[in-house]
């Protein structure tokens, strides 16, 4: 089962602000979001964990 994270969870996990997360997505430096509906997005937890692992 794929677990999706909300932006508020990303801020808590990564310590980055919303603006920084979206800027890094635009620059290709952060995993892209998955569209859930017209106004909601989420991020795959596994991709975020892999991204965090790649930093160390």
CB 43 within 8 A of CB 10: yes
Mean pLDDT of all residues in 11-21: 97
DSSP code of residue 38? S
| Extents of the domains making up the chain | 4-55
* 21-50 pLDDT, tens digit each: 999 999 999 999 999 999 999 999 999 999
How much is the pLDDT for 7? 96
How much is the pLDDT for 32? 95
Query: What's the pTM?
Result: 0.89
Direct distance between the N- and C-terminal alpha carbons of the chain, in angstroms, rounded to an integer: 26
* Bridge partner residues of 43 (DSSP): 5
How much is the pLDDT for 56? 84
């Amino acid at each position: 089962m794929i677990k999706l994270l909300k932006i508020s969870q990303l801020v808590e996990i990564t310590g980055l602000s919303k603006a920084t997360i979206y800027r890094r997505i635009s620059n290709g430096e952060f995993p892209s979001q998955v569209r859930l509906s017209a106004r909601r997005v989420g991020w795959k937890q596994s991709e975020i964990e892999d991204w965090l692992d790649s930093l160390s």
